[in-house]
Amino acid sequence: MLKWLATLLLPPPAYAPRRLLVPFGGVMSEAIGGILAGWDEVVAVEMEEEYIPIGEARCRFWAGWSERGQDDPKEILKLAAKEKKQEPEPQGQMELL
């Protein structure tokens, strides 16, 4: 839904670079919608430090898929689950020193 809303606000390419400001970033749901909608630049502001690493990780995940040409959230989640199943299981035990 957030991708759809960000698409409604997206100006035509003639206005590039098209920048989106998300004033209350939180865990970056609105920023991710902007990334998937095709905004040239998405800037989010968050004052609660605890949300920043969560939001950064989520943005990296979704932006990575967007760079691979995927922009449909449902399809991305299916592909990510498929890739996760194909990852080899860790062998043996790791000892912490």
pLDDT per residue as tens digits for the range 29-44: 999 999 999 999 999 9
- Would you say residue 95 has pLDDT above 90? no
**CA 75 – CA 82 distance, rounded (Å):** 11
Length of the chain: 97
- Would you say residue 97 has pLDDT above 60? no
**CA 45 – CA 26 distance, rounded (Å):** 8
Backbone angles phi, psi at 55, to 5 degrees: -65, -40
Q: What is the pTM of this model?
A: 0.74
Residue boundaries of the structural domains of the chain: 19-73
Give me Rg for the CA atoms of the chain: 17
**CA 66 – CA 32 distance, rounded (Å):** 10
Tell me the pLDDT tens digit for each residue of 12-71: 999 999 999 999 988 899 999 999 999 999 999 999 999 999 999 999 999 999 999 998
